[in-house]
Amino acid sequence: MYEKPALTSDTVVVRRASSGREVLLIRRGREPFAGAWALPGGFIEPFERPEDAARRELAEETGLVLTSPLALIGVYGERGRDPRGWTVSAAYVALVGGDAPAVLGGDDADEARWFAADELPALAFDHDMIVADALALLG
Protein backbone atom coordinates (compact mmCIF):
# COMPACT_ATOMS: atom_id res chain seq x y z
CA MET A 1 0.00 0.00 0.00
CA TYR A 2 1.28 3.47 -0.88
CA GLU A 3 1.08 6.46 1.44
CA LYS A 4 -1.39 9.05 0.16
CA PRO A 5 -0.98 12.81 0.48
CA ALA A 6 -3.77 15.31 1.01
CA LEU A 7 -4.39 17.24 -2.21
CA THR A 8 -5.06 20.96 -2.29
CA SER A 9 -5.39 23.65 -4.92
CA ASP A 10 -4.25 27.29 -4.62
CA THR A 11 -4.77 30.28 -6.90
CA VAL A 12 -2.60 33.33 -7.46
CA VAL A 13 -4.83 36.06 -8.90
CA VAL A 14 -2.77 38.92 -10.33
CA ARG A 15 -4.19 42.26 -11.39
CA ARG A 16 -2.37 44.71 -13.58
CA ALA A 17 -3.02 48.08 -11.92
CA SER A 18 -1.76 51.48 -13.03
CA SER A 19 0.61 51.42 -10.04
CA GLY A 20 1.93 47.92 -10.84
CA ARG A 21 0.85 44.35 -10.25
CA GLU A 22 -1.41 43.36 -7.35
CA VAL A 23 -2.00 39.93 -5.80
CA LEU A 24 -5.20 38.77 -4.11
CA LEU A 25 -4.67 37.28 -0.64
CA ILE A 26 -6.90 35.99 2.16
CA ARG A 27 -6.37 36.22 5.90
CA ARG A 28 -6.78 32.73 7.35
CA GLY A 29 -9.52 32.30 9.90
CA ARG A 30 -8.42 28.87 11.09
CA GLU A 31 -5.30 27.00 12.10
CA PRO A 32 -2.78 26.34 10.86
CA PHE A 33 -1.57 29.90 10.47
CA ALA A 34 -4.77 31.52 11.76
CA GLY A 35 -4.54 35.27 11.14
CA ALA A 36 -1.79 34.93 8.55
CA TRP A 37 -2.13 35.98 4.92
CA ALA A 38 -2.23 33.23 2.30
CA LEU A 39 -3.39 32.40 -1.19
CA PRO A 40 -7.02 31.44 -1.70
CA GLY A 41 -7.20 27.67 -1.80
CA GLY A 42 -8.06 24.51 0.00
CA PHE A 43 -8.63 20.79 -0.12
CA ILE A 44 -9.82 19.13 -3.31
CA GLU A 45 -13.04 17.15 -2.95
CA PRO A 46 -13.04 13.45 -3.97
CA PHE A 47 -12.85 13.18 -7.76
CA GLU A 48 -12.93 16.98 -8.21
CA ARG A 49 -10.60 18.32 -10.88
CA PRO A 50 -7.83 20.46 -9.32
CA GLU A 51 -8.69 23.45 -11.55
CA ASP A 52 -12.37 23.20 -10.54
CA ALA A 53 -11.30 23.12 -6.87
CA ALA A 54 -9.17 26.23 -7.42
CA ARG A 55 -12.16 28.11 -8.86
CA ARG A 56 -14.49 26.84 -6.11
CA GLU A 57 -12.13 27.77 -3.27
CA LEU A 58 -11.46 31.19 -4.81
CA ALA A 59 -15.20 31.92 -4.98
CA GLU A 60 -15.85 30.59 -1.47
CA GLU A 61 -13.01 32.51 0.17
CA THR A 62 -13.11 35.80 -1.76
CA GLY A 63 -16.42 36.01 -3.62
CA LEU A 64 -14.47 36.32 -6.88
CA VAL A 65 -15.85 34.10 -9.64
CA LEU A 66 -13.38 33.73 -12.49
CA THR A 67 -14.34 32.50 -15.93
CA SER A 68 -11.00 33.46 -17.46
CA PRO A 69 -8.41 30.74 -18.06
CA LEU A 70 -6.23 29.48 -15.22
CA ALA A 71 -2.64 28.47 -15.98
CA LEU A 72 -0.88 25.81 -13.94
CA ILE A 73 2.11 27.28 -12.11
CA GLY A 74 3.30 23.99 -10.70
CA VAL A 75 2.76 21.25 -8.17
CA TYR A 76 4.20 21.77 -4.69
CA GLY A 77 4.80 18.94 -2.26
CA GLU A 78 7.92 19.65 -0.23
CA ARG A 79 8.14 17.99 3.15
CA GLY A 80 6.95 20.30 5.92
CA ARG A 81 5.03 22.75 3.72
CA ASP A 82 1.88 22.06 5.76
CA PRO A 83 2.03 21.27 9.50
CA ARG A 84 -1.07 19.05 9.17
CA GLY A 85 0.91 16.45 7.24
CA TRP A 86 1.94 15.48 3.72
CA THR A 87 0.05 17.89 1.48
CA VAL A 88 0.53 18.42 -2.23
CA SER A 89 -0.89 21.50 -3.94
CA ALA A 90 -1.66 22.19 -7.59
CA ALA A 91 -1.18 25.96 -7.94
CA TYR A 92 -2.74 28.09 -10.65
CA VAL A 93 -2.42 31.70 -11.78
CA ALA A 94 -5.06 33.98 -13.27
CA LEU A 95 -4.54 37.45 -14.68
CA VAL A 96 -7.27 40.08 -14.38
CA GLY A 97 -7.34 43.60 -15.73
CA GLY A 98 -9.30 46.75 -15.16
CA ASP A 99 -10.55 47.97 -11.83
CA ALA A 100 -9.89 45.73 -8.82
CA PRO A 101 -12.79 43.29 -8.54
CA ALA A 102 -14.56 43.60 -5.20
CA VAL A 103 -13.58 40.81 -2.81
CA LEU A 104 -14.82 39.80 0.61
CA GLY A 105 -13.54 37.13 2.98
CA GLY A 106 -15.82 34.12 3.25
CA ASP A 107 -15.86 30.45 4.31
CA ASP A 108 -12.64 29.96 6.32
CA ALA A 109 -11.11 33.31 5.25
CA ASP A 110 -11.58 36.25 7.63
CA GLU A 111 -10.64 38.82 4.99
CA ALA A 112 -9.72 39.10 1.31
CA ARG A 113 -7.63 41.96 -0.01
CA TRP A 114 -5.46 43.12 -2.92
CA PHE A 115 -1.77 43.79 -2.16
CA ALA A 116 0.94 45.38 -4.27
CA ALA A 117 3.01 42.47 -5.60
CA ASP A 118 6.24 44.08 -4.40
CA GLU A 119 4.85 44.77 -0.88
CA LEU A 120 3.32 41.45 0.17
CA PRO A 121 3.02 40.57 3.86
CA ALA A 122 4.61 37.40 5.23
CA LEU A 123 2.67 34.46 3.79
CA ALA A 124 1.59 31.14 5.31
CA PHE A 125 2.80 27.74 4.08
CA ASP A 126 5.14 28.09 1.07
CA HIS A 127 2.89 30.64 -0.61
CA ASP A 128 5.73 33.14 -1.01
CA MET A 129 7.45 30.67 -3.34
CA ILE A 130 4.21 30.01 -5.26
CA VAL A 131 3.60 33.76 -5.74
CA ALA A 132 7.21 34.27 -6.90
CA ASP A 133 6.83 31.42 -9.40
CA ALA A 134 3.52 32.88 -10.66
CA LEU A 135 4.97 36.36 -11.15
CA ALA A 136 8.00 34.92 -12.95
CA LEU A 137 5.70 32.89 -15.21
CA LEU A 138 3.75 36.03 -16.12
CA GLY A 139 6.99 37.89 -16.83
Asked about 119 being catalytic, the answer comes back as: no
Q: How confident is the model at residue 18 (pLDDT cuts 50, 70, 90)?
A: confident
Show the domains of the chain with their CATH numbers. 6-138 (3.90.79.10)
d(CA 30, CA 84): 12
Per-residue pLDDT of 94-120, as tens digits, reads 999 888 889 999 999 999 999 999 999
Residues linked to residue 134 through DSSP beta bridges, in sequence order:
none
Which one from 48, 51, 60, 111 is the annotated catalytic residue? 111
With 0.75 as the threshold, say if the pTM is over it.
yes
98 CB-near residues (< 8 Å, 6+ apart): none
